[in-house]
Amino acid sequence: MSGLRLADGGGPVIPDFGHGTACLRQNHWFCTSWVHEHWGDTLQPALLQHLYLTLLAVGIGFGISFVLAVLAFRFRFLGPPLGAVSDVLYCIPSIALFLLLVPVTGLTVTTLVIPLVAYTLFVLYPNILAGLRGVPPEVLESARGMGFTRRQTFWRVELPLALPAIMAGLRVATVATISIATVAAVVLYYGLGGPIFEAIGQPDIFRTELVAAGGLAILLALTADALLTLLQRALTPWSRQP
Interacting residue ranges for other proteins, rule: CB under 8 A: 88, 90-97, 99-100, 102-104, 172, 175-176, 178-179, 182-183, 185-186, 192-193, 196-197, 199-200, 205, 207, 210-211, 213-214, 217-218, 221-222, 225
Using left for φ > 0, alpha for ψ between -120 and 50, and beta otherwise, residue 191 falls in: left
Q: What is the phi/psi pair of residue 15, to 5°?
A: -55, 140
Nearest CB to other proteins, comparing residues 158 and 198: 198
Contact 200, 194 (CB under 8 A): no
Residue 55 or 205: the one with the smaller Cβ distance to other proteins is 205
Residue closer to other proteins, measured from CB, 4 or 140: 4
Sequence letter at residue 114: I
d(CA 129, CA 51): 27
- As measured in angstroms, the least distance from the Cβ of 79 to other proteins is 16
Shortest Å, Cβ 137 to other proteins: 19
Nearest approach, Cβ of residue 155 and other proteins (Å): 30
Minimum CB separation from other proteins for residue 122, in Å? 9
Burial of 118 (0-12, 13-18, 19+ CB in 10 A): buried
| Distance in Å, CB of 98 to other proteins, minimum | 8
Rounded distance between C-alpha atoms, residue 230 and residue 83, angstroms: 29
Element (H, E) at 48: helix 44-74
**Identity of the residue, 142 or 223, whose beta carbon is nearer to other proteins in the bound complex:** 223
